[in-house]
Amino acid sequence: MKLPARLVREFRRGFLDVPSLRRWHTNPVNVPKPGRRSFRLNSTMESVCEVEAAADKLAAEAGLNEDERFHVTMAVREAAVNAVLHGNEYDPTREIAVGLENTGKALVFTIADEGRGFSPEAVPDPLAPENLLRGTGRGIFLIRSLMDEVHFRQLHPGTELTLVKHLEAASENK
């Protein structure tokens, strides 16, 4: 199993010793932990920050480098903002449901709202000339650009968004 570039850099700089590297190799964090972490949160921006922090922690535990962690957390944050703002319309009686899982081959994030639902195909192309100067409308585009897979599912009511970051692809980019 290839060591993450972050660990190699820390070893070369003297921040890690050989026993620490052996512990990582014999008990790598990118081996899936049993179960999936799921929780429900109120439709607030504070909840968005909690989701982002949980995604960053999972990405760090999986050994993603700093750039990949940033991509994952930005995509997950944008999905959570969309669920709170567009899906649930900041309605305090509605919640977002969040799931995070490291399968060993991929990090999988699900975020669901209780809103009316929407069609992702109906979202205007942010790269079209008439949309370039708009201040909004780039969230889905960013999410698709930063993650390896993005899936939408209509829940009636609500929309569930599943974001996938393959760990093999992430380690090849290090």
CATH of the domain at 104: 3.30.565.10
Q: Which tens digits make up the pLDDT trace of 65-89?
A: 999 999 999 999 999 999 999 999 9
Judgement on whether residues 129 and 58 belong to the same structural domain of the protein: yes
pLDDT surpassing 60 at residue 30: no
Judgement on whether residues 81 and 13 belong to the same structural domain of the protein: no
Give how many domains the chain has, as a whole number.
Answer: 2
Q: Which tens digits make up the pLDDT trace of 96-134?
A: 999 999 998 999 999 999 999 877 777 767 667 776 667
Judgement on whether residues 125 and 45 belong to the same structural domain of the protein: yes
Give the confidence band of 169 by pLDDT, cuts at 50, 70, 90.
very low
Judgement on whether residues 2 and 54 belong to the same structural domain of the protein: no
Judgement on whether residues 17 and 67 belong to the same structural domain of the protein: no
Parent domain of 164: 32-172
Judgement on whether residues 9 and 37 belong to the same structural domain of the protein: no
- Transcribe 105-131 into DSSP letters: SEEEEEEE--S----GGGSPPTTSGGG
Question: Are residues 126 and 66 in contact, defined by beta-carbon separation less than 8 angstroms?
Answer: no
Alpha-carbon distance of 10 to 113, in angstroms, equals 40
